[in-house]
């Protein structure tokens, strides 16, 4: 008995010992999985960049700003893991909230459920991908400044005082406090100002100055601790935090708030606006440590910080930008939710036995009902498909809306075809669209002579007097074009020595056209609106009339009577650089200034008498129309209220050709097809860009058309960046 009892005791001891060892092993294992290594940061060099989509963007920025430094932050994190972790907290506390958006921007799990002050909804997975992908913001614009390293730069109190002008903090005392506290804690005062304005606005929000029940005043400029799902809850928590830390003055609040930011974020190596929002720095943990839920905050605060630094003349300093990269990133930058998913035509229909399927105005079951699909007899054209299961669809009656695709009552069917006809495009810059109509996404750009195969010529989609035909291009992609741009294939192609196939490659012919622009004064009756440049140039004997520009948005300017004698060069050093080519192979002479300039305007008048014919240009901004100009605008001899590249304006009996910055196709507007034309010009697939249209493409005004012009126009369209 004793022996048996002894063995039982020994067995229990051994078992306990094994459990302890097992627990220690488990703790050790868990420790290894939760202790994170710092990110690996190093100075950018184009030769050490292997992550897709970064090199060209950063090289353009470095070329434009030699004093700027770029640090690559290798997070070591898998892209898909990052998105999965950011897309959490549904129905409770989502990591990412968005305001003023609908459809694909809104989380399909939380739907219309509101958070915070009642004006915020949970951001969709597509929205998270769009905002967290650094490549979308590597542009020469204020958005880039979300990556600016927030270290202190030596700054005068006066500079900060001026930066506070127009805000509720505009006082010398506040400026001095901000500068003093930032200097002692190695933080950028412009980062601090941007953070305050993001939280409080320019007039000061409700939590800026709060009165307790006992009448005492508290401040919470940074909204620290201001959380909750109602406005009153947010206010109560903000007040509680201010009382806890004794923020009874602006100075104490600034001191406490800046110290909090420094100790809790910058010391965590989250030292940019981007990293304040997206906790992808492994040091001290991941994902949970974010300053704000607002997914647009880095972009918005970057604009504020940029403007303050610009006003203080600090943009030419040695600024450092920290650019995160992730493993297994997609080849292309993540698109905005408005264009995410599949983009090409596909046919679906209602299954037999189902009726009255709703077509909604947006990608949400709370969106208004536009129409109903009666039964399976109706063929539905799906033009865009999203990861949340919604389809953007087009009906033959012209209705454009959204369906939630459910296999219980919807099914895909083969393409609806009634022919298989080979056609050629008769107009340069024709847009192939995902659906029949100008509002649909562009699939690609087609040029004169391109072959397509028409598979539907029934005219089932006839809108606004235009028939849209469904076609397939050589690489297999499908889309729609206006029937007017299609022609039969000629039986015998005539020889043409001026076609692109016969252009001789001659590197010496790629001389940049240099126009010496000098300011001029326009007196009295010649006074023009601001942001206009009048240029007189006799550098060609070509006719001044604009030809081949149809009024519809699909014809981007047929250079039918343009004789191209220019040549293309080769790409080098991974840089897309196309110089503006003097297609007549003439040397541009120095231009002579004439006229007078009204003070404060930006008018330029340049003449060149080396040619018999005069070509005078008026350069205007992308948003200008005829009503903004002091002259009569005509297009093809007919007066118009619009103003586009190639239009004619008459000022005091003198005619000028309009050059609208960014309007490369001459339709009067700056849209996606403009930057696509530039892209084709840069890579050498479309050389039919010259004269005023070539000038319109040079939005950076460096006398050449290169990748930075393409990106600038694209960013103007997508983000409103000034050109």
Q: What is the pLDDT of residues 420-442, one digit of tens each?
A: 889 999 988 888 888 998 878 77
pLDDT interval class at 533 (50, 70, 90): low
Q: How far apart are CA 76 and CA 370, in angstroms?
A: 47
Q: How far apart are CA 617 and CA 456, in angstroms?
A: 44
Q: How far apart are CA 565 and CA 582, in angstroms?
A: 9
Mean per-residue pLDDT, 241-269: 83
How is 502-540 classified by DSSP, letter by letter?
Answer: G----GGG--B------B-B--GGG---TT-EEEE----
3-state DSSP assignment of residue 59: helix
Q: Where are the alpha helices (DSSP H) in 667-706?
A: 672-682, 691-697
Mean per-residue pLDDT, 622-647: 91
pLDDT digits (tens, 9 = 90+) for 441-468: 777 888 899 999 899 999 999 987 899 9
Mean per-residue pLDDT, 140-167: 86
Mean pLDDT computed over every residue of the chain: 76
Q: Taking Cα atoms as reference points, which of 713, 684, 686, 685 lies closest to residue 698?
A: 713
Predicted local confidence at residue 200, as pLDDT: 87
How is 613-628 classified by DSSP, letter by letter?
Answer: S--EEEEE-TT--GGG
Predicted local confidence at residue 522, as pLDDT: 34
Mean per-residue pLDDT, 231-237: 88
pLDDT at 571 over 50: no
Predicted local confidence at residue 26, as pLDDT: 31
pLDDT at 536 over 90: no
3-state DSSP assignment of residue 601: coil
Mean per-residue pLDDT, 170-174: 90
Contacts of 83-88 with CB under 8 Å at 24 or more apart are 83/125, 83/128, 83/129, 83/132, 85/286, 85/287, 86/128, 86/132, 86/278, 86/287, 87/125, 87/128
Q: What are the backbone dihedrals phi and psi of residue 479, each rounded to the nearest 5 degrees, phi first? A: 175, -170
Q: How many other β-carbons are positioned within 10 Å of the β-carbon of residue 407? A: 9
pLDDT interval class at 166 (50, 70, 90): confident
Out of 224-233, 641-650, 670-679, pick the least confident: 670-679
pLDDT at 47 over 90: no
User: pLDDT > 90: what percent of the chain?
Assistant: 30
Q: What are the backbone dihedrals phi and psi of residue 590, each rounded to the nearest 5 degrees, phi first? A: -65, 140
pLDDT at 228 over 90: no
Predicted local confidence at residue 341, as pLDDT: 64
pLDDT at 304 over 70: yes
Q: Taking Cα atoms as reference points, which of 79, 114, 85, 87 lies closest to residue 100?
A: 114
User: pLDDT > 70: what percent of the chain?
Assistant: 75
Out of 182-191, 390-399, 411-420, 557-566, pick the least confident: 557-566
Q: How far apart are CA 245 and CA 426, in angstroms?
A: 72
pLDDT digits (tens, 9 = 90+) for 69-88: 999 999 999 999 999 999 99
Is pTM, for the whole model, over 0.85?
no
Predicted local confidence at residue 719, as pLDDT: 61
Predicted local confidence at residue 186, as pLDDT: 77
pLDDT interval class at 263 (50, 70, 90): low
pLDDT digits (tens, 9 = 90+) for 469-520: 999 887 677 899 999 999 998 876 544 443 323 222 233 323 332 333 333 3
């Amino acid at each position: 008995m004793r022996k048996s009892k002894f063995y039982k005791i020994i067995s229990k001891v051994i078992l306990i010992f094994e459990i302890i060892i097992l627990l220690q092993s488990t703790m050790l294992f868990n420790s290894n999985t939760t202790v994170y290594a710092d990110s690996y940061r190093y100075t950018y060099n184009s030769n050490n960049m292997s992550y897709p989509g970064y090199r060209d963007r950063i090289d353009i920025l470095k070329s434009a700003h030699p004093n700027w430094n770029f640090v690559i932050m290798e997070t070591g994190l898998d892209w898909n893991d990052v998105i999965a972790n950011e897309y959490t907290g549904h129905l409770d506390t989502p990591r990412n909230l968005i305001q003023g958006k609908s459809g694909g921007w809104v989380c399909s799990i939380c739907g219309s459920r509101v958070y915070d002050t009642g004006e915020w909804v949970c951001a969709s997975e597509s929205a998270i991908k769009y905002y967290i992908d650094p490549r979308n913001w590597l542009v020469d614009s204020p958005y880039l400044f979300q990556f600016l390293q927030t270290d202190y730069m030596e700054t005068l109190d006066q500079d900060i005082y001026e930066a506070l002008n127009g805000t509720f903090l505009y006082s010398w005392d506040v400026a001095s406090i901000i500068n003093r506290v930032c200097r002692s804690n190695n933080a950028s005062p412009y980062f601090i100002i941007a953070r305050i304005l993001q939280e409080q606005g320019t007039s000061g929000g409700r939590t800026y100055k709060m009165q307790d029940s006992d009448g005492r005043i508290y401040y919470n400029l940074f909204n620290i601790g201001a959380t909750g799902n109602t406005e009153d809850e947010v206010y109560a928590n903000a007040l509680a935090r201010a009382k806890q830390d004794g923020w009874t003055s602006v100075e104490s609040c600034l001191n406490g708030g800046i110290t909090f930011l420094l100790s809790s974020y910058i010391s965590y190596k989250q030292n940019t606006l981007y990293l304040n929002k997206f906790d992808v720095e492994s040091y001290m943990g991941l994902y949970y440590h974010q300053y704000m839920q607002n997914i647009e905050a880095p972009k918005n605060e970057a604009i504020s910080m940029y403007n303050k630094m610009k006003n203080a003349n600090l943009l030419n300093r040695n600024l450092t930008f920290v650019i995160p990269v992730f493993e297994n990133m997609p080849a292309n930058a993540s698109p905005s939710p408005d264009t995410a998913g599949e983009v090409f035509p596909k046919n679906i229909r209602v299954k037999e036995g189902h009726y009255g399927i709703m077509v909604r105005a947006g990608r949400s079951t709370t969106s208004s009902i536009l129409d109903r699909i009666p039964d399976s007899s109706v063929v539905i054209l799906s033009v865009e498909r999203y990861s949340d299961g919604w389809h953007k669809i087009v009906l033959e009656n012209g209705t454009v809306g959204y369906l939630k695709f459910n296999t219980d009552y919807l099914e895909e069917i083969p393409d609806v075809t009634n022919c298989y006809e080979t056609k050629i495009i008769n107009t340069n810059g024709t847009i192939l669209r995902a659906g029949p109509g100008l509002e649909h996404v562009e699939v690609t750009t087609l040029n004169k002579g391109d072959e397509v195969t028409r598979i539907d010529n029934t005219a089932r989609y006839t809108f606004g007097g235009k028939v849209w035909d469904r076609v397939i291009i050589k690489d297999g992609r499908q889309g729609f074009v206006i029937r007017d741009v299609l022609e039969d294939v000629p039986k015998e192609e005539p020889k043409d020595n001026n076609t692109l196939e016969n252009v001789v490659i001659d590197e010496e012919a790629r001389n940049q056209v240099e126009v010496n622009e000098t300011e001029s004064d326009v007196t009295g009756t010649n006074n023009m609106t601001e942001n206009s440049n009048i240029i007189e140039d006799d550098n060609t004997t070509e006719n001044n009339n604009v030809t081949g520009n149809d009024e519809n948005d699909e014809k981007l300017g047929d250079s039918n009577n343009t004789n191209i004698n220019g040549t293309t060069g080769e790409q080098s050093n991974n840089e897309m650089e196309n110089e503006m080519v003097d297609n007549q192979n003439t040397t541009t002479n120095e231009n002579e200034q004439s006229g007078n300039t009204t003070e404060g305007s930006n008018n330029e008048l340049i003449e060149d008498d080396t040619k018999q014919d005069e070509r005078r240009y008026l350069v205007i901004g992308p948003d200008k129309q005829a009503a903004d100009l002091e002259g009569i605008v005509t297009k093809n001899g007919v007066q118009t209220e619009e103003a586009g590249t190639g239009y004619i304006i008459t000022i005091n009996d003198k005619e000028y050709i309009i050059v609208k910055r960014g309007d490369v196709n001459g339709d009067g507007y700056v849209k996606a097809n403009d930057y696509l034309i530039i892209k084709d010009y840069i890579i050498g697939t479309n050389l039919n860009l010259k004269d005023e249209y070539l000038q319109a493409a040079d939005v950076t005004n460096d006398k050449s058309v290169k990748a930075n012009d393409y990106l600038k126009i694209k960013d103007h369209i997508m983000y409103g960046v000034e050109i």
